[in-house]
Amino acid sequence: MSKVYIGLGSNKGDRIGFLHHAIAELESDIGITILTLSSIYETRPYGVEDQPNYLNAVILIETDYTPIEVYHKVKTIEKIVGRTKSERWGEREIDLDIILYDSIIYKDDMIEIPHKEYYKRDFVLVPLHEIGNDLIDPITKQSISEIIENLNEKFILIKLENNLKEKVGGEIV
């Protein structure tokens, strides 16, 4: 079984609802076991700044799916949840990205693992560290906490009290 960290983001419409729906879809897949979820963080936009703030989180799953299969699963879930076409870094109902897949390094025309430029984004790194504080970046061999310490730009505004764990079934802690 592989451990996969998936980043979630939403800044359009019912942001919390979209995050909960995406997690419910992941949870309903018999090939995926949700191991843990981070807190939700409200963050200012990355890339295109003239848009609403995002809600971001990271989820850890366990699966036998290959990286390509996980990629197709998350893209299908984005469609099911209601993602519509948008400009690059534009507003979106839901965004699901594979951040880390075990400690592999992989790149093809569709995906790059670790996720491209995740190491520049505190809205990925902070929730990632929250649920995987012993993680090491497979490329740089730095710990996630070391990467966070060296960030130049911060996007996180607040950590929300609303907790994704409250809406997910099972015994996730």
Catalytic residue (one of 29, 44, 64, 95): 95
**44 part of the active site:** no
Cβ-based burial of 135 (10 A; exposed 0-12, middle 13-18, buried ≥19): buried
**83 part of the active site:** yes
SS3 content of the chain, % helix, strand, coil (to 5): 30, 25, 45
Q: Give the Cα separation of 138 and 149 in Å (integer).
A: 18
Catalytic residue (one of 92, 121, 122, 137): 92
Catalytic residue (one of 97, 121, 122, 137): 97
Catalytic residue (one of 14, 29, 50, 83): 83
**137 part of the active site:** no
**134 part of the active site:** no
Strands (E) across the chain are located at 2-10, 32-37, 41-43, 54-63, 95-101, 106-107, 112-113, 156-159
Collapsing DSSP states into helix, strand and coil, what is residue 107? strand
Q: Which residues are catalytic?
A: 83, 92, 95, 97
